Structure 1
Amino acid sequence: MSNDLFESWEVNSFIGTLSSQAVTSAQSIRDPRIRSCFNEHMADFNHSLLKEYENGYKSRDDILFEVEEEIQLLIDQSYIAGSKGIGFIAGIMQVAGGGALCAESVGLLCAIGAPMIAHGANNIYENGDYFINGNENTSGWLREGYREGAKLFGLSESGGDIAYSVADLGLSGYGLFSKTLRPPFIPQFETSKRFKLFHYLTADYVYGYKAMSNTSLAIEGMADIATIKAVSGYSKKD
């Protein structure tokens, strides 16, 4: 086999490995139609890589680098999608629930509704930032406020994180058992080009949310479990 043929075989092998990882990652998407769209997207991406190599725009090493980077992104997105996706959607539910609570009580229960909105907005920002920019450890303004408050009492930042998580858990618990309105939609981030899987996972969450009457309860329940684990983690730091 000549060097050119061997190199071409290597490039096809690299792209085949990416295709296999894409199929594995696609299992995170429950809806078959959305999963099919993701698979088509990845097939187009793989085809474009091959064409760029064949037309001389990219070398064998360029293709290898892109394939390895994309595989790692898919693995990372699959791993983090659960906690970040649930946290993001739970945040939207908190905002909608808090707003509905204030509206339905004609402002009488805004003492609970306003903190729900604040925590929800902060959770949307912290979890949503990973969808858009890939920042896994984003800290929102409200969490920073808790941390600064903890310092005033002579505690560490972890103390503020624990206080934030406990408050978040309490507000989410109230949302679980109150009959407030639920959000009619969940926004998608069309501009998130590096995170292909997240785009389709977001659409999958939307479809699942609309299709299942108990999805909101399940999401908030899982979000509460994640919060409890976070509190445990912060406690161990101290």
Structure 2
Amino acid sequence: SEDLLEDAMRLIPMVRRDAGLIPLVTPTSQIVGSQAVLVALDRKNGKPDYTTTNNQFISLVKGEYGKTPVPVDPAFREKITGSPIEKAYDVSSYKKPENPTLNDMGGMPLASNNEEMLLLELLPSVANGFLRKRRTEEYNAQKAEEAVETVAEVAPKEESEPITGPTLVAPMGGRIISVNVKDGQAVKKGELLIVYEAMKMENDVEASNDAVIKRVLVSEGDVVNTDSPLIEFQD
């Protein structure tokens, strides 16, 4: 209904006046703007103003958002809410939302701090999905970290031979997906050496300069820690 934009913009002052000259700040600016669009739609469809109202506008006119700078006309309030009487939000009817335990994620609570609990109280429909996604990411990261910590650091293939040459080390903990080079191979700068997986993302490790590989110290499927040696180069 892009054709209604100009009509809705012209109706905003009327809607704001009818709602008690409420300041246009978040969230009242959105409430008034949305209601102006609904009035524009009513007029387009040949219906009286305010035939269609949104729930937040009804609550605003009723008085649940607090007293407005200018009193709302009781006749208008009755038209919108069904009663001419101003009625503040009934705090006694408020029920604190539950903070469920996520049994599929080790029993962690959905909201882990006061800020997240406030999200549940103020925006329950949005917060549930948002917080569940956040907990899932944290749970997966924790499991991946635990998996890396439980695996001993990969030892060189030849334990008796110390590493004496320059080495390529793992930028972060993860699992080796593929090894693209072998002992004694000459490689060029930018050539793909190893592909490893970390946090469900595949990462290419390339040669930083021309070199000759002395030893490949890992194999496909190995789990390595951060800074674990992967390849030793000839001096």
Looking at secondary structure, tell me which structure has more strand per residue: 2
Looking at secondary structure, tell me which structure has more helix per residue: 1
Structure showing greater relative contact order (alpha-carbon pairs closer than 8 Å, 6 or more residues apart): 1
- TM-based fold match above 0.5: no
Query: Which structure has the bigger radius of gyration?
Result: 2
Q: Could you tell me the TM-score, scaled by structure 2's length? A: 0.30
Q: Could you tell me the TM-score, scaled by structure 1's length? A: 0.29
